[in-house]
Copies of this chain bind each other. A is one copy, B any other.
Amino acid sequence: MSSTTPSPAASARRGRRPGAPDTRAAILESARSAFAGKGFAGTTIRGVAAAAGVDAALVHHYFGTKDDLFLAAMELPVDPRQVIGPALAGGPDGAGERLLRAFLSLWDDPEISPSLVGVVRSALQPGGERLMTQGFVPVVLMPAGAALGIDRPDLRMPLVISQVAGLILARYLIGLEPIASMPADTLVATYAPVIQHYLTGDLGAGLREG
């Protein structure tokens, strides 16, 4: 790392303005403002680019698709799609346990957990719900349901999230014992049957009327 070849970041800092870190930051700031104010559906790459004073192609170059830009704007330390991808690949059987393990591999990581807690706290403030309903849901949750190949993903995935969100609150935001200190294996054994029930079980009236 001490070679004379400049790192990409160093090159970017020396390059023309569109390649400079402050341009990247300006795009992210513009994206955050747009997603917060207009929601995911109301935000366009073109609008984000205009507000940041750059070309739309540069936004695509730096951040990829609108989905990618949204996740980058949330400042997640990881891409949740990559983390849950392998858990989804195995199909519905046992997906409850696999998804819980993938989830805990992120949330129990002390390097990652504080950022995630910050995102959740933001999403729970007035107006922050759009982060969830117009961002996380169409970008992560619904594609996950489709990848699993379950019936009624439009109902089942929100039910899954309603339990996972409560687990997040209890374990990471509130520190409710014994959930907060429970070993990961115990947590998986306790919650996997419920997650699996929401994914593939008989939901009774919820399924018929939902």
Contacts and interface: CB of A to CB of B under 8 A. Distances in A.
Interface in A155-210: 155, 158-159, 161-167, 169-170, 173-179, 182-183, 185-187, 189-190, 193-194, 197, 203-206, 209-210
Interface stretch (A54-62, A66-74, A101-109, A124-132): A124-132
A121 interface: yes
Contact of A124 (B158, B173, B178): B173
A190 B176 contact: no
A121 B129 CA distance: 12
Given A124-B124, A204-B190, A161 B176 contact: yes
Contact of A155 (B124, B133, B178): B178
Contacts of A147: none
B209 A175 contact: no
A119 interface: no
Contacts of A197: 193-194
A137 interface: yes
A190 B161 CA distance: 14
Contact of A189 (B163, B166, B187, B206): B206
A133 B181 CA distance: 14
A177 B169 CA distance: 20
B205 A179 contact: no
Contacts of A151: none
A154 interface: yes
A164 B137 CA distance: 20
A108 B161 CA distance: 20
For the complex of A and B, 9 pairs with smallest distance between CB atoms = A166-B166, A190-B206, A189-B205, A162-B166, A165-B166, A162-B170, A129-B174, A165-B169, A186-B209
Given A155-B178, A178-B210, 11 more contacts: A124-B173, A133-B176, A158-B177, A161-B166, A161-B176, A162-B167, A162-B170, A182-B206, A183-B209, A189-B205, A193-B204
